[in-house]
């Protein structure tokens, strides 16, 4: 991949071993190396749209130690194609390794941080690639789950861990949407929220982006209606999943970055005038391959559908009725070049939350993914916010918005 300014990729913690062939699914399966995952059986989960998932298992990871009254617990919610591996106890990476750890913004010497893989995921928590009670993968039989189902499953995990109330629930992008659903569904269990480039309900444009991504998978002939887990390598719906990633990635980054890194440069050794690719095409192909190697097409469909139906106001009188009731301390952060969660929308959210004392701005020319790239700024923002939670009043410093709006 020809790239004038290589930038690391941080959307996942666990990375697959390089292989010449793509498996039918990049999911974690029973018998695979668990890494630093822990597992808990949650029992059955009643689903919002009807039906029930029996014997749900949740994969999660923890850092730090839960104190005697369980008052120092932080729940961390991952992005759409993320996993539980936000950081590593052995310094082996993680999607937020610069944020979670001893002495870092989410300081594990004082806090107990928990990151679960969402219900419907493919990295250890029950999802379409998991084994159903009949011994076969759920596949096409896996039911639709919503953000509320995902949050209810995490609430069961909290119960089993002995956590009645989270000191903070934090997340970005899809993870931040989960944070908003937590606050709306379990306000009494939510001490404070950190919502980074996320919203209370999906927008029409976000639904449109997601629609294209779903169609890419559904029209892959190797998807086989969702029952492809017995397919040989290179015979799964990896083309459709890869195309979905390319579509998504264009909303995660922005034009100034692409112009700077690639411009109209041909890929090394290729001529676009004679069937070759431009460097930016190679870049997108690379991201498509990476996702297909570590993710599951059915999980992508399930989680994307939950993203599309996300709405904390559903059945509660609308978003405008719910937001004023969320009085817990709140951090809202925007990325100034974001074209998936626009800064104007983030500012509207900050204005509507009673516990938010101003918008925090991440300055980045990398678009939406700035929350994963600009770790110095994110550290500064989270550190200021957590300092403001130290007192009984749990108010932010008066100069918070001003102090975090500069890198």
Residues annotated as part of the active site: 173, 338, 368
Cβ 20 vs Cβ 31: under 8 Å: no
Number of H helices, E strands in the chain: 12, 10
- Are 168 and 191 spatial neighbours (Cβ–Cβ below 8 Å)? yes
Rg (CA), the chain: 21
Do 329 and 389 form a contact (C-beta atoms < 8 A)?
A: yes
**Alpha carbon distance 299, 292 (integer Å):** 12
How far apart CA 402 and CA 359 sit, in angstroms, is 9
H-helix or E-strand containing 153? helix 147-161
Q: Give residues with Cβ within 8 angstroms of 381, minimum separation 6.
A: 331, 333, 360, 362, 404
The residue assigned the tokens 């931040």 is 176
CA distance 374 to 245: 22
Distance between CA atoms of 240 and 219, rounded to whole angstroms? 7
Element (H, E) at 74: strand 73-77
Q: Rounded to an integer, what distance in angstroms lies between the CA atom of residue 258 and that of residue 209? A: 19
- Residue 402 in tokens: 């001003």
CB 378 within 8 A of CB 331: no
Instruction: State whether residue 1 is helix, strand or coil.
Output: coil
**Phi/psi of residue 343, each to 5°?**
-55, -40
Q: Please name every residue paired with 53 in a beta bridge, in sequence order, or none if there are none.
A: 45
DSSP structure class, residue 226 = G
């Amino acid at each position: 991949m020809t790239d004038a300014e290589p930038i690391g990729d941080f959307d996942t913690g666990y990375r697959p071993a390089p292989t010449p062939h793509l498996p039918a699914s990049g999911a974690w399966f029973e018998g695979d190396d668990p890494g630093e995952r822990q597992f808990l059986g949650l029992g059955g989960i009643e689903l919002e749209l009807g039906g029930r998932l029996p014997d749900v298992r949740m994969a999660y990871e923890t850092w730090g130690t839960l104190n005697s009254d369980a008052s120092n617990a932080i729940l961390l919610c991952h992005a759409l194609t993320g996993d539980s591996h936000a950081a590593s106890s052995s310094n082996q990476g993680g999607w937020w390794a610069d944020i979670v750890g001893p002495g870092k913004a989410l300081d594990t010497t004082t806090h107990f941080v928990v990151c679960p893989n969402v219900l419907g995921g493919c990295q250890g928590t029950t999802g379409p690639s998991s084994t159903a009670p009949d011994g076969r993968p759920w596949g096409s039989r896996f039911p639709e789950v919503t953000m509320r189902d995902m949050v209810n499953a995490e609430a069961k995990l909290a119960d089993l861990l002995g956590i009645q109330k989270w000191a903070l629930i934090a997340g970005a992008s899809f993870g931040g949407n989960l944070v908003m659903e937590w606050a709306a569904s379990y306000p009494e269990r939510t001490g404070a929220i950190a919502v980074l480039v996320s919203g209370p309900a999906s927008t029409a444009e976000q639904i449109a982006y997601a629609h294209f991504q779903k169609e890419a998978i559904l029209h892959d002939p190797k998807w086989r209606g969702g029952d492809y887990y017995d397919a040989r390598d290179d015979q799964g719906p990896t083309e459709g999943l890869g195309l979905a990633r390319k579509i998504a990635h264009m909303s995660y980054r922005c034009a100034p970055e692409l112009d700077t890194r690639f411009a109209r440069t041909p890929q090394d050794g290729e001529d676009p005038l004679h069937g070759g690719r431009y460097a930016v095409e190679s870049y997108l192909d690379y991201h498509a391959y990476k996702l297909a190697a570590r993710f599951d097409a059915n999980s992508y469909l399930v989680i994307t559908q939950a993203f599309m139906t996300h709405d904390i106001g559903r059945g509660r009188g609308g978003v405008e009725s719910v937001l004023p009731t969320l009085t817990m301390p709140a951090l809202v952060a925007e990325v100034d070049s974001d074209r998936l969660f626009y800064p104007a929308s983030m500012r509207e959210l900050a204005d509507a939350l009673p516990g938010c004392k101003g918008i925090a701005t991440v300055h980045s020319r990398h678009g939406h993914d700035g929350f994963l790239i600009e770790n110095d700024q994110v550290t500064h923002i989270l550190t200021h916010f957590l300092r403001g939670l130290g007192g009984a009043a749990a108010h932010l410093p008066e100069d918070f918005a001003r102090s975090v709006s500069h890198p």
